[in-house]
């Protein structure tokens, strides 16, 4: 019996032609694939870094976590309330677990 020899195509066997490995269709020809990175998406937002720098660098005796306005104040109070509530609840659970229970 003769052994079958399978030969790889020239592009696999080290063909020096780089176009032999190129895909038959180019990805740039499909607008659905590359449509997410168009320049119009970059131009939707304006640069407000200078405005934010003025707000946060102003000398108005406020801590930096409250200089953002009312939203920052509400988020700060909510966070502090949740932290305080969690601390009280964890101390309650520790106290409850530290004493024996009647069954």
Question: Which pLDDT tens digit goes with each residue over 26-70?
Answer: 655 655 665 565 555 566 788 999 999 999 999 999 999 889 899
Residues 6+ apart with CB under 8 A from 72: 65, 66
Q: pLDDT averaged over the chain? A: 79
Give dist(CA 62, CA 56) in Å, integer: 9
Tell me the DSSP string of 5-58. Answer: -----TTTTT-S-GGGSS-SS-GGG-HHHHGGG-HHHHTTS---HHHHHHHHH-
Go through the domains of the chain in sequence order and give each one's CATH number: 48-98 (4.10.91.10)
pLDDT grade for 87, boundaries at 50, 70 and 90: very high
pLDDT grade for 103, boundaries at 50, 70 and 90: confident
Q: Are 29 and 35 in contact (CB under 8 A)?
A: no
């Amino acid at each position: 019996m003769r052994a079958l020899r399978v030969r790889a195509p020239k592009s696999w066997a080290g063909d020096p032609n780089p176009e032999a490995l190129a895909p038959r269709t180019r990805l740039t020809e499909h607008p659905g694939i590359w449509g997410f990175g168009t320049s119009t998406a970059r131009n939707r937002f304006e640069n407000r870094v200078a405005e934010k720098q003025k707000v946060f660098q102003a000398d108005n005796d406020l801590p930096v976590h409250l200089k953002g306005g009312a939203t920052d104040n509400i988020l700060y109070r909510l966070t502090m309330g949740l932290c305080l509530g969690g601390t009280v609840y964890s101390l309650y659970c520790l106290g409850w677990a530290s004493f024996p229970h009647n069954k």
